[in-house]
Amino acid sequence: MTRRQRQVRGACVVGTEVVVDVGPVAHGGSCVARHEGRAVFVRHALPGERVRIRVTEGGTEDRFWRADAVEVLSASPDRVEPPCPWAGPGLCGGCDWQHASLPAQRRLKAAVVEEQLRRLAGLTWPVEVEPVDGDDDGLGWRTRVTYAVDGSSGRAGLRAHRSHTVVPVDTCLIAHPEVRAASVEREHWPGTSSVEVVVSDSGDRQVIADGVVRTGRGHVVERAAGRSWRVSGGGFWQVHPGAARTLVDAVLDGLAPAPGERAMDLYSGVGLFAGALADAVGPDGSVLAVEGSRQAVADARRNLHDVPWARLVEGRVDRVLAGGGAADDGAADGARVDVVVLDPPRQGAKAAVVGEIAARAPRAVAYVACDPAALARDLASFAGLGYRLTELRGFDLFPMTHHVECVAILRPG
């Protein structure tokens, strides 16, 4: 198996098997064990278990190893039989926690968020990860799936963990039923490297092979927050059917935007939060939405054509806020705003964007985060500028995986 490995120091120990006692959960879908004083990040295990592991990455001089649990000697009461036959050591790398019950998965995710907040932001904050309507006991929720294609067989599948190896699968159980109905796994795709399937609650379905739409009309229509949303090509939209409604509700509950207020939506995509804010502040208020993707901004202009008090700006968020990178004048005038929605990519907003937000002195910021470590780092930056965390909710928008979505509310003080 070809793995995306870091440089091994010392003699390679890949394939070595030892018995370890499994400790706490770690960010990224593993648990931490110790072997002769060295940290080992173990997949397919649970805290409190005793397991036999097989090392998948590491050398004799490395500070830590990665490994798979290949035999469970003493099982956790949270352990269940994985529903998918492709979930296990050396198989599909898409699901991290199929061997844990759903309540246990949510506790593990909450523990990761708490640990990242404590370690990176100096915050002790209790976290609960809430279930979200729209999946079938953790399965059948993923409305967008990108399959890799094995070059030799032409079969579509999913990649092994930290590997370029394609594992052909008969069906992906976390995929939405309408994704599975596209039958991508049962076809052959010679000369193709990837196939993406996108479905929506309006009944649209796209099949996109190497960026070219094979089936569908070039966009899908989603429904959320009282509107229909055009999303072109492989553009971003939350993959869990209940995600958009859940996140909009959490943001609006946390910010409580009022008529006449000035709002900002940063990393605004096709305009989901901008539309919700525009409805809340009304024509006497204003919304500035900033997004770097030209196609997403084009979709947003179409989606929000009926709310002229929402201004859509194409450009990198940091450059627009700093006064450059956008054609629209006045986008970065630095004027005070009342509320901000911040929904950055996985790497977070980072200090420059946080500083520009704080300089505009909003009364509240809603931070929508898909990575606990990035969230914690940005919360530390906000704290240094006088903004404190006042609310935090976690949502299980990615059952069976280690991913978790959070909505944090910050206020000055």
Q: Helix %, strand %, coil % for the chain, to 5?
A: 20, 35, 45
Q: Tell me, what DSSP letter sits at residue 5?
A: P
**Res 223: pLDDT:** 96
Q: Is the pLDDT of residue 5 over 70?
A: no
Domains of the chain: 17-79 (2.40.50.140), 129-133+240-412 (3.40.50.150), 144-223 (no CATH)
Active-site residue, 95 included: no
CA–CA distances in Å: residue 108 to residues 23, 82, 84, 115, 381: 12, 17, 20, 11, 26
Q: Taking all residues of the chain, what is their mean pLDDT, rounded to a whole number?
A: 95
**Res 9: pLDDT:** 87
- Which of 84, 92, 370, 406 is catalytic? The answer is 370
Torsion over CA of 291, 295, 300 and 303, rounded to 10 degrees? Answer: -170
Q: Which residues are annotated as a binding site?
A: 238, 267, 291, 343
**8 Å CB contact between 290 and 319:** no
Q: Is the pLDDT of residue 225 over 90?
A: yes
**Res 331: pLDDT:** 46
**Res 332: pLDDT:** 54
pLDDT band at 53 (very low <50, low <70, confident <90, very high): very high
Q: Tell me, what DSSP letter sits at residue 8?
A: P
Phi, psi of 281 (to 5 degrees): -85, -20
**Res 114: pLDDT:** 98
CA gap 374, 127 in Å, rounded: 16
CA–CA distances in Å: residue 293 to residues 136, 303, 309: 33, 15, 21
Q: Is the dihedral of CA 132, 138, 142, 148 positive or negative?
A: positive
Q: Is the pLDDT of residue 286 over 90?
A: yes
Phi, psi of 275 (to 5 degrees): -65, -40
**Res 234: pLDDT:** 76
Q: What percent of the chain clears pLDDT 90, i.e. is strictly above it?
A: 93
Higher pLDDT, 90 or 1: 90
Q: Is the pLDDT of residue 301 over 80?
A: yes
Closest CA to 232 of 143, 297, 141, 311: 297
Does the pTM of the predicted model rise above 0.75?
A: yes
Higher pLDDT, 8 or 272: 272
For the residues 94-108, what does the mean pLDDT come to? 98
pLDDT digits (tens, 9 = 90+) for 124-181: 999 999 999 999 999 999 999 999 999 999 999 999 999 999 999 999 999 999 999 9
pLDDT band at 324 (very low <50, low <70, confident <90, very high): low
Instruction: Compute and round to an integer the Cα radius of gyration of the chain.
Output: 22
**Res 4: pLDDT:** 54
For the residues 6-12, what does the mean pLDDT come to? 84
Q: Which residues are annotated as a binding site for S-adenosyl-L-methionine?
A: 238, 267, 291, 343
CA gap 10, 35 in Å, rounded: 17
Both tokens assigned to 251? 């943001």
Return the H-helix or E-strand segment holding 405: strand 405-412
